[in-house]
Amino acid sequence: MHNTINDFMELKIFGNLGFTELLIIVALITILFGAKRIPQIAKGIGKGVHDFKKEIKSIGEITK
């Protein structure tokens, strides 16, 4: 049986970063950009990813 907390802590997306390192990174981002600016940055990144996926899909349809 897998332990859900251990699975979360060992996410392969982040490579060898542990929970402490991720916490430090989040704290630094908050200090650098400010808490009010983080949602704006996340929204911009999300829009960029959405547009990228949309363009990839349209390229795939064109090449068919």
pLDDT, position 14:
56
Rounded Cα distance between 24 and 20, Å, is 6
Q: Which residue carries 């808490």 as its tokens?
A: 35
What lies within 8 Å, CB to CB, of 30 at 6+ separation is: 38
Do 22 and 38 belong to one domain? Answer: no
DSSP label at residue 13? G
Is residue 63 located within the same domain as residue 38?
yes
User: Where in the sequence is the domain holding 49, given as residue range(s)?
Assistant: 34-64
Q: Are residue 21 and residue 41 in the same domain, yes or no?
A: no
| Residue 23: count of CB within 10 angstroms of its CB | 10
- Residue 51 confidence (pLDDT): 93
Q: What is the pLDDT of residue 11?
A: 52
Q: Are residues 61 and 43 located together in one domain of the fold? A: yes
pLDDT at 1: 46
pLDDT of residue 43: 93
40 and 60, same domain (yes or no): yes
Mean pLDDT in consecutive groups of 10 residues from the start of the chain, 64 residues: 53 69 87 87 91 87 76
Whether residue 23 sits in one domain with residue 1: yes
Total number of domains constituting the chain? 2
Domain match, 16 and 4 both: yes
